[in-house]
Structure 1
């Protein structure tokens, strides 16, 4: 079972610790207690009151928090636990990144997995995406990472154009835009991708990897490029989730648009969004185990956390190192 996302979106909320549980107090309402063992992440909108010992306990339990502005303007900020002490995998990551051939192979893998995810999504929708086959053929012939990035960018534009044709005209979706999103569908995609980033970042940190050393996305100060790399194969899942919401749960009237803040989902619709997200990520449809199907068994359903863990491990294997739990020999010395 995937752990819960705790959402705090009222400024008169108080979040404190009560033993090993989070305690949520709202004036005039019965307090709520949530054991830390059930919490996967904490999402904070605006300025609810959060006690300092809450942040310490969240860090101790390895629970990330997402801080979002009360209004739509501005990026969210993730407060995450530290990297694991598995230094061998980081040494291997740096060595892999320093080798041009391995770097190109890893970048191509991320894009190929994303294109396979688009194909899987289309299959679920009983559709065909001819541009995916063309992109895969070009990917096999790509000579550089820049060329790989170009293939991914072109395929993404094709996909979002294709996605627009699946939506009712009332949604007025024609292209991907962000910072801030200008329309309801882009608002859904942006929020979904933000939540996905948190799940992937947590998986990267748990594996002991450096989130800043990416292969498809170049390292850049302040950017978690590796987490962005590993988001790519899973983005089609967010797209599928967003499509489902537009067809079954939400209407354009659930959003407001301003010149400064862009398009924002209403508070009531936001609650429905998070409830639906919890259900959706408990049975994640895309990007799990490739041809091996390793992300889930009958006893172990492919929830998003498990999918991310297996995706990270498969990505590491593109470096050509079989077992990173064993010491790596550098200059004849076991490290």
Structure 2
């Protein structure tokens, strides 16, 4: 459950949620993550010890980071390809070539600094093409944040924050420490592992949802308001509407091209990736990044 702004939660309601195993996430009206109320999580101390040992293994850390970034770049390309399939007039050849090269470079980088550079170059190519996909009043000319300076950036920033609460909950639920990551640097208060996992789902979930809501005119400029720091944010009533579409996106099952497994939702797949991370920490399985493969 997601609580926005000054929503009051009684002790009885909080107890009922905890007993039902339902996590509650608290966000400010602007979408800032405040914290979470969660049921008792895994008591698997051995897993957390293994996670810290893996963090100290520079080879393992770099290999996991490579897989996260490679999957992220692949998902950028997959979103462009999905749009081009329905809009053959769109020419994303330059961006597609850059993303393909970026993925190959990510898989073979020798150090984390180089990997950061590869991701940055891929993001530049992707977001240039992403802007060309907006066909209505809401337009996109590049990423801005802290604060977002236009409606599309407001949607992206808000969406990434909400999706981060999913990845924090998923890794904590399997017994991992959300703050010990392998691609994102450790810093006080930064849920680095949850941010690592977020990278694989940013584009297929939030970028795709933002594009859909803008092009179908579900959200228009009237749904946004300026704030004192020159930023732009979703209005309170529009955030509630956005959450309805977000939940639908997360909970709708879908199949993957080349995958015979039963349909699963994005929420299922976030949790599956968290379990796969846990197995990788214990040496029980090799980690494979999530890639959205459309049929």
Same fold (TM over 0.5): yes
Is 1:138 the counterpart of 2:105? The answer is yes
Q: Which has the larger radius of gyration?
A: 1
1:181 to partner: Cα distance: 1.5
TM-score, length-scaled by structure 1 = 0.74
TM-score, length-scaled by structure 2 = 0.83
Residue matched to 1:302: 264
Identify which of 129, 137, 147 aligns with 1:180: 147
Please give the secondary structure, in 2, of the residue aligned with 1:85: coil
1:321 to partner: Cα distance: 0.8
Please give the secondary structure, in 2, of the residue aligned with 1:66: strand
1:317 to partner: Cα distance: 4.7
Is 1:153 the counterpart of 2:120? The answer is yes
Residue matched to 1:8: none
Residue matched to 2:168: 201
Is 1:77 the counterpart of 2:34? The answer is yes
1:210 to partner: Cα distance: 0.6
Please give the secondary structure, in 2, of the residue aligned with 1:209: coil
Identify which of 221, 225, 240 aligns with 1:256: 225
Which whole-Å CA distance do the structure 1 matches of 2:273 and 2:7 have between them? 35
1:91 to partner: Cα distance: 2.0
1:306 to partner: Cα distance: 1.0
> What value does the CA root-mean-square deviation take over the aligned residues?
2.6
Please give the secondary structure, in 2, of the residue aligned with 1:197: helix
Matches within 5 A, 1:234-249: 234-237=201-204, 238-248=206-216, 249=218
1:206 to partner: Cα distance: 1.2
User: Cα–Cα, structure 1 residues 118 and 196, in superposed 2: closer, same or farther, change >3 Å?
Assistant: same
Identify which of 245, 253, 257 aligns with 1:276: 245
1:132 to partner: Cα distance: 1.0
Which whole-Å CA distance do the structure 2 matches of 1:272 and 1:125 have between them? 24
User: Cα–Cα, structure 1 residues 217 and 231, in superposed 2: closer, same or farther, change >3 Å?
Assistant: same
Q: Please say if residues 47 and 281 of structure 2, whose CA atoms lie closer than 8 Å, have aligned partners that are also in contact.
A: no
Which whole-Å CA distance do the structure 1 matches of 2:24 and 2:120 have between them? 30
Please give the secondary structure, in 1, of the residue aligned with 2:233: strand
Q: Please say if residues 102 and 319 of structure 1, whose CA atoms lie closer than 8 Å, have aligned partners that are also in contact.
A: no
Which whole-Å CA distance do the structure 2 matches of 1:259 and 1:159 have between them? 30
Residue matched to 1:212: 179
Structure 1 moving runs of 4+ over 6 Å: none
Residue matched to 2:23: 64
Is 1:45 the counterpart of 2:4? The answer is yes
Which whole-Å CA distance do the structure 2 matches of 1:272 and 1:145 have between them? 39
Residue matched to 1:100: 58
* Pairs aligned (count): 274
Greater share of strand: 1
**Structure 2 unpaired stretches of 5+:** 86-91, 286-295
User: Cα–Cα, structure 1 residues 170 and 317, in superposed 2: closer, same or farther, change >3 Å?
Assistant: same
Select between 100-109 and 255-264 the one with higher mean Cα deviation.
255-264
Greater share of helix: 2
Which whole-Å CA distance do the structure 1 matches of 2:235 and 2:247 have between them? 18
User: Cα–Cα, structure 1 residues 184 and 59, in superposed 2: closer, same or farther, change >3 Å?
Assistant: same
Please give the secondary structure, in 1, of the residue aligned with 2:176: coil
